[in-house]
Amino acid sequence: MSQLRESETPENRVIETLSRLPPKSLMRFKCIRKSWCTLINSPSFVANHLNNSVNNKLSSSTCILLNRSQAHVFPDNSWNLEVFWSMINLSIDCDEHDLHYDVSDLNIPFPLKDHGFVQIDGNCNGIFCIIAGKTRYFINVLLCNPATGEFRQLPHSCLLIRSPPKGKFQLETIFRGLGFGYEFKAKEYKVVQIIENCEYSDDERTYYHRIALPHRAEVYTTTANSWREIKIDISSETNHCSWPVYLKGFCYWFAIDGEICILSFDLGDEIFHRILLPSRRESNFEFCNIFLCNESIASFCSCCDPSDEDRTLCEIWIMDDYDGVKSSWTKLLTFGPLKGIENPFAFWKSDELFMVSFDGRATSYNSSTGNLNYLHVPPILNQVRDFQALMYVESIVPIK
C-alpha cells in the first residue's frame, strides 16, 4: 500500500475541511478542542480560510452587506440612531436567468451609543472601517469584522479639532474623507483620513467669508496603532462625494475639484493622485459615483430621458489598467431608461447590477434581460436615513 503524501494525511484533510467552513461554525469549534482553537487563530489558517472564501465566490453568486439606520425619537425630543446590518446572498439560475436570494440580519451590538450617523468607509478582507459621530468636527473610527463580531476603536485623529471655532481667523477642521485597505509589502492594514481646513474673515463665519486652506491627511496603521500626518497635494477646493473603494492596494474616491474626477491613494508609497473621468458633457450625462465591477473600478453616469424626465438613461464605464498616474476608460454598457432608480452599489456576475430605488428599496437589474427585481428586505419602522451596500466576503481575520 502506497504511503500517503504529506498533503493527504488525515490531519491535513481536517485542516482543509475546517478552512472551508463559515466563520460562525469556526467560532463555535474553537470551544471544542484547545488544539482547534490554536489552529483557527494561527496566521496561516486565517490566510488559507480567507483565500478559500475569496476563491469560492462563484461568478453566479455574491454576498452583499446592507447598512441602514433609523432614528428613534423619545417623548423628551431626544433621539438615538439604531444601526441595522443585513447580509444578502444573491445567486442566478444561469439557464433561466431567475434571481434567487436570502436575507439574514447580523445582530452585532454596536459599541458606541451616542452617535448621529454611522457610515461604512471601506472594506477589505471581511473587515469594515466605520465612522460614527454627531458632527463632521469629531468622529469615531472603528474597525469591525461582522463575521466574528469583533470591534476595534481607533485612537482619535491628531488633526481634527473637536469643536468649531468661535471667532474669525480661527482654524476650522472638517472630516472630508476616509479610506481603508491592505498594504501588501508591509503586510498590514491602513486607514487614511483627509481633513479639510478653512477659516473665516468675519465672526459670523458665513460661507461668503470662508477662506479655504490646504487639506491635510493622516495615516493609521494597525501595527503602530497610531496616526501620523502625511503629505497631501490636492486643491483646497476638492470635495469628496462618494464612499471609498479599495482595490489592489489603492483607495479611490469620487471627487469634485472644479470638474469631476477620481482621487486615488497608494497605500504603499502613501501618495495621492488625481484621475480624470471621460467627458460626457456633450451628451448631458453626468458621473455620480464609483464602485467595484469584476475587479475593476467602475463609474456610473446618467441623464434624464428627453422624452420622460422621470426616467433615467444610464451608462457604466470601466477604468482600464491604472499605473498610479495614467488611466483610460471603456464604456461597459448602456441601459435604461429606468424609473425611480438612484445609484448602483455593486456589479456582479456579468450583467447583474445591484441598485437602490428612490424609495429606499434594494433592487437588482439584469442588463441582458432588462429584468428589474425588487428584493424584499425586512423593513425598519421609520424612514431609512442611510443606505449602503458593499460586496462582502466573510473572513476570520482578527482586528484586535
What does residue 259 show for φ and ψ, rounded to 5 degrees? -135, 160
Place of cell 462625494: 241
Split at pLDDT 50, 70, 90, the class of 77 is: low
The C-alpha R_g of the chain, in whole angstroms, comes to: 23
231, 253, 276: which is the final residue of a domain? 276
Residue 89 has pLDDT above 60, yes or no: yes
Q: What is the pLDDT of residue 154?
A: 94
Could you tell me the residue range of the domain that residue 9 belongs to?
1-56
Q: Are 317 and 288 in contact (CB under 8 A)?
A: no
Q: Which residue has the higher pLDDT, 345 or 35?
A: 35
Within a domain: 98: no
Q: Which residue has the higher pLDDT, 59 or 145?
A: 145
For residue 201, what is its C-alpha cell? 474673515
- Interhelix angle for 43-55 vs 10-18, to 10°? 60
Min mean pLDDT across 2-16, 126-140, 152-166 is at 2-16
Residue 175 has pLDDT above 90, yes or no: no
Within a domain: 61: no
Q: Is 43 helix (H, G, I), strand (E, B) or coil?
A: helix
276, 296, 323: which is the final residue of a domain? 276
For residue 18, what is its C-alpha cell? 475546517
Other CB atoms within a 10 A radius of the CB of residue 319 amount to 22
Min mean pLDDT across 4-8, 210-214, 232-236, 321-325 is at 4-8
Within a domain: 7: yes
For residue 281, what is its C-alpha cell? 458633457
DSSP 8-state symbol, 8? G
Q: What is the pLDDT of residue 95?
A: 63
Rounded-to-integer distance, Cα 93 and Cα 123, Å: 28
Work out how many domains the chain is built from and give that number.
Answer: 2
Q: What sign does the CA torsion over 104, 132, 272, 274 have?
A: positive
Beta-sheet strand order (sheet of 138-145): 117-124, 127-135, 138-145, 150-153
pLDDT tens digit sequence for 177-202 = 899 999 999 899 999 999 988 888 88
The whole-angstrom distance between residue 338's C-alpha and the CA centroid of its chain comes to 25
Q: What is the pLDDT of residue 2?
A: 45
Within a domain: 166: yes
257-286 as b/e, with b when 16 or more CB fall inside 10 Å? eeebbbbbbebeebebbebebeebeeeebe
Q: Are 391 and 135 in contact (CB under 8 A)?
A: no
Distances (CA, A) of 394 to 49, 147, 271, 303: 9, 6, 30, 36
Within a domain: 91: no
Within a domain: 187: yes
pTM: 0.86
**Burial class of residue 159, CB neighbours in 10 A (0-12, 13-18, 19+):** middle
Clarify whether residues 157 and 51 are in a common domain. no
Within a domain: 27: yes
Distances (CA, A) of 40 to 17, 27, 36, 80, 139: 12, 9, 6, 38, 34
How large is the average pLDDT for residues 103-113?
A: 76
How large is the average pLDDT for residues 57-85?
A: 67
Q: In terms of DSSP bridges, do strands 150-153 and 172-183 run parallel, antiparallel, or are they unpaired?
A: unpaired
Q: What percent of the chain has pLDDT over 70?
A: 85
For residue 379, what is its C-alpha cell? 423593513
225, 253, 276: which is the final residue of a domain? 276
Other CB atoms within a 10 A radius of the CB of residue 396 amount to 24
Within a domain: 176: yes
For residue 56, what is its C-alpha cell? 469560492
